[in-house]
Amino acid sequence: MNKLKYSLLILIGACSYGVLSSIMKVGMKEGFTVSQMLGGQYVFGWLLLLLLMLLFSRKKVAPKQWLSLLAVGITMSGTSVFYGKAVELLPASIAVVLLFQFTWIGVLMEAAADRRIPSRSKIISIVILIMGTLLAGGVIGESTGPLDMKGVVYGLLAAFTFALYMFVSGRVGTTVPVFNKSFFMTTGSGIIVLSVFSPAFMWDGALGAGLWKYAVILGILGILIPVLFFAIGMPKVGSGTGAILGAAELPAAVVASVLLVHEHVSSLQWFGIALIFVGIAVPQIRFSRRKRVPGIEPQETPAHL
């Protein structure tokens, strides 16, 4: 039951990520750029984590630990940067499908690190998720024309860095208090993002013009909730299962696009969303149905599995 609780945290974190694109689209209609909103997301998310750390966790972190956590943050920023580049060069449906290759990449990373073949339930789950992603992303039935190979590379790099972030988040700094861990990871990520995307929004008047509203919301949904919940849940469920649960980001993105941006979603896309939820549920159902041997308590799954 504990594992299901941690799985739920990762599921919520993934859904939180999924809402971001629609909020950014609303902000763009008011004249703000993706660069401004992404920068604001990191600045306000960082400030919120700093506040929480100062209030609830003043434990000192050894230099070796916070340096490793800063490095983990670089994998976070890689996803933001590479995915942003992919969206500029490719249709949105193709970019999101490329990003969601992190599901099987994450499972392979875990298998390679643990020198263990992925379980049958994970393999079945990945197959279902890939099918669901192609449908939910609107790729099937749509003519996309020739693709920019540079954009494809950026999309796959975004998938790799997201899978890597999930992997290292569950294995680095596991003894560091969660608020400290999340703060240092976000610090490392924010430094990279603000060096790639101009931080001019902090002094050019954009915040006073209304950007602050989007920055706060994006900071909560794009930094505070997912980074904290992933930091808590990943060490407990493992990066392979975490990557599968992370696929909930796409259904959340589609639903948010309907509610916030009023985009049309076809019946094939809704079917794809249903498939994604089936794929996410497969490993969880397998776990919950394990039989207990009378007189023997089930062994707890190691944190790295």
CB 44 within 8 A of CB 267: no
Q: Are 48 and 179 in contact (CB under 8 A)?
A: no
Q: Sign of torsion, CA 125 275 13 66?
A: positive
Which two tokens mark 81? 């940067």
What is the CB neighbour count within 10 angstroms for residue 162? Answer: 28
How many CB atoms sit inside 10 A of residue 243's CB? 31
Is residue 294, in this structure, part of any structural domain at all? no
- The C-alpha atoms of residue 211 and residue 232 are separated, in whole angstroms, by 30
**Predicted local confidence at residue 224, as pLDDT:** 93
The C-alpha atoms of residue 275 and residue 98 are separated, in whole angstroms, by 18
Given a cut of 90, whether residue 130 has pLDDT beyond it is no
pLDDT score, position 296: 46
**Does 247 map to a domain?**
yes
Residue 116 has pLDDT above 80, yes or no: yes
Binned at pLDDT 50, 70 and 90, residue 161 comes out as very high
Confidence at residue 299, expressed as pLDDT on a 0 to 100 scale:
44
Does residue 282 lie in a domain region? yes
300 pLDDT above the threshold of 50: no
pLDDT at 305: 33
Nearest to 95 by CA among 33, 40, 21, 169: 21
251 domain residue, yes or no: yes
Q: What per-residue confidence (pLDDT) applies to 290?
A: 53
Nearest-10 Cα torsion for 158, 137, 104, 151: -30
Give the pLDDT confidence score for residue 143 in this predicted structure.
Answer: 54
Q: Does residue 244 form part of some domain?
A: yes
Q: How many CA atoms lie within 13 A of 294 on its CB side?
A: 0
Whether residue 75 is contained in a domain is answered as yes
CB atoms < 10 A from the CB of 183, how many? 28
Question: What distance in Å separates the CA atoms of residue 4 and residue 8, rounded to the nearest whole number?
Answer: 6
Query: Does the pTM exceed 0.85?
Result: no
- Domain span at residue 78 reads 2-288
Confidence of residue 144 (pLDDT cuts 50, 70, 90): low
Q: Is residue 36 part of a domain?
A: yes
CA distance 303 to 287: 15
CA 46 distance to own-chain centroid: 17
Closest CA to 238 of 168, 146, 145, 144: 168
User: How deeply is 60 buried, as exposed, middle or buried, from its count of CB atoms within 10 A (0-12, 13-18, 19+)?
Assistant: exposed
Please compute the mean of the pLDDT values over residues 183-207 and round it to a whole number.
Answer: 87
| 286 vs 271: CA distance, rounded Å | 23
- Domain annotation covers residue 215: yes
- Of 135-144, 167-176, 205-214, the one with minimum mean pLDDT is 135-144
pLDDT on residue 119: 81
Total domains present in the chain: 1
CA 78 from chain centre, in angstroms, equals: 12
Q: What is the mean pLDDT of residues 250-263?
A: 82
pLDDT value of residue 94: 75
Per residue in 203-254, pLDDT (tens digit) is 888 888 888 999 999 999 989 999 999 888 888 888 788 888 888 888 888 8
